[in-house]
Structure 1
Amino acid sequence: MFKFQPASVALSGPGFSFLIHETNNATVGQYGFLLGEIVHKKEINSITDNDQVQVDISKIIKINSAVPWPCRNYFPNGRVDKEKIRKFLGNHFSKVVAWYKYGSIQFRNPSQPQKLSKKLFQKIDIENTIGVVSVTQIENSVRDAIIKTVLELKKAEKYLFKLEEEIKLLRETNQAVERPQTIEDEVMDTSFECTSLNEEKPTEKLSERTETSPRRSQRTNNVPDSNRRNSQLGNLPNTPTPLKGYGRASGKAKPRGTRGGK
């Protein structure tokens, strides 16, 4: 008796999208379980020419969701540990209808440069290329170190530029604070000095006069009172000089318009 079991599978929208999302984001091969239900099952019995009974069982399986298996050592012995799966799935254990395996296939359709490089690598003598490989490894390590140092120097340069700007601002502020006078202040100081000098000169003249006054007093003490009086009158401003012949001591006649007298 030969049994042939064709099956048709129907994936729901959320289950299909979740399955694609999990498999595309997986970095390594992935196993998982498909949860769903068997919608329809049908058996068809037929007899072949060799008088054999053939049973055709058709199933319609509807998959609602997928559950990825989190362990990397999936099935080391080719067998499934049912107890672990029961603990992992819990109430969903009875809904498991199938399991899947996903593995990313690299170089499915290699390009022409990849084909040429593959042929070249196959022809390379490994014993003679050990030194070349070591040199390339050293070059790669040195290049990585240079790139790291360049990035660090770039950061340090930015930091130093900021420090220079701050130092420049501090110097400008210090110069503005320590600057003694502006141009207007200097002009005011010079004008003040000029006025002070003009005020000091009269005091010097007065002091000179006061110093010379005792000598004059000594000279005037020897002069008679009449001469001293005349000298004082002469020093007065706008004093008229007396006319000759019109004093009391003169014996001449009086001017016209006067009464009395011989």
Structure 2
Amino acid sequence: MTTGLGMPTAPAPTLSPRRKTRQLMVRDVGVGSDYPISVQSMCTTKTHDINSTLQQIAELTAAGCDIVRVACPRQEDADALPAIAKKSQIPVIADIHFQPKYIFAAIDAGCAAVRVNPGNIKEFDGRVAEVAKAAGDAGIPIRIGVNAGSLDKRFLEKYGKATPEALVESALWEASLFEEHGFSDIKISVKHNDPVVMVAAYEQLAAACDYPLHLGVTEAGPAFQGTIKSAVAFGALLSKGIGDTIRVSLSLRRSRKSRSAPRSWNR
């Protein structure tokens, strides 16, 4: 087959079937292999600035975002969550930093899900039972988000650096603690700013569990560089059927960020 210029067209890429996963709901957005891959973005506002945060959520919604995440590093941010969760047009995930008490505040606020990074929350392992019960009672999922830049010191000491194996072991260890307490509505992400390391980590994770996987390249950088990094990583993984929700970390206007994630994989 040729184009009007007499040039042959490239064959359509061969995509592997989606990896089979367990299913979960982020409010009204299904996540897992039975649902379309969803696009997520993160607000760059101060969460306690409720009006600015809601305005940015509205822009992201208009740009096609399915889920939005807001940071919760301080009490004033936690105090703003009820209003944001109530007024947002799309499900709100609270990204918890430093203090376990913000997890419970986010759940009580009506957030659709909570993201926890075991590497930056004080004594997180000892609070898993409480978190599992609170999330289970509220019927919301937890994303275990392991980042290379804040990897649990136990795994840094074991592996020497944030290797794919270190990221995967950290994530699965935390998931096992939740499972011990009867909680299984779990998503996992293992992020690294090197797309080669990230792809290797997700491939290992996909082979080791059936949790839905959230894809993201942390600290992806300026627009052009970040788009290339994300395209390399996402393309490699999605072509193998790996990935159930994606988020691109770019230092640019948020609506552009959401539009940089096309829907071509949901065919």
TM over 0.5: no
TM-score computed with the length of structure 2 as normaliser: 0.16
TM-score normalized by the length of structure 1: 0.16
The structure in which a higher percent of residues are helix is 1
